[in-house]
Structure 1
């Protein structure tokens, strides 16, 4: 059985980018994913492959964003102290 890991929500992704003042293109380049991956996920049009969302989440965390979860549901963001 595979252990499920919480994934950031589209709202958390938008909030994290806004907090960092990053464009979709800047985030996509930093995470080595296509800009359409970021755009379509933020808009709720698609769910990226697990590897893509892990890259995006990892880059945002490395930039100082902490993601909050309630179980598997993304509930917010904050800055790493």
Structure 2
């Protein structure tokens, strides 16, 4: 969702996060990844302007809201 909002391709995000395109695909499928890999992807998205939001926060630009799991 965040990658698509930015118009980034899988290879673009992979390069920015310094991971393989396969790792991005695995992440998007919801497969389990190391915390450090997820953090690298998050930082790359934030560098491109994505804001990760939690309960009640409001974005000032492109944002991704994280809902609570029930």
Q: Same fold (TM over 0.5)?
A: yes
Partner of 1:79: 61
- How much has 1:79 moved relative to structure 2? 2.2
Where does 1:29-48 land on structure 2 (aligned, <5 Å)?
A: 29-44=15-30, 46-48=31-33
In angstroms, what is the RMSD of aligned CA positions? 1.8
Q: Which runs of 5 or more structure 1 residues have no equivalent in the other structure?
A: 1-14, 71-76
Note if 1:52 corresponds to 2:19. no
Which of 1 and 2 has higher RCO (CA within 8 Å, sep 6+)? 1
Equivalent position to 1:68, from 53, 57, 60: 53
TM-score normalised by L of structure 1? 0.64
User: Could you say what secondary structure the match of 2:13 adopts?
Assistant: helix
Q: Which runs of 5 or more structure 2 residues have no equivalent in the other structure?
A: 63-70
Higher relative strand content: 1
Partner of 2:11: 25
Aligned CA distance change for structure 1 residues 47 and 66 (closer, same or farther; 3 Å): same
Count of aligned positions: 59
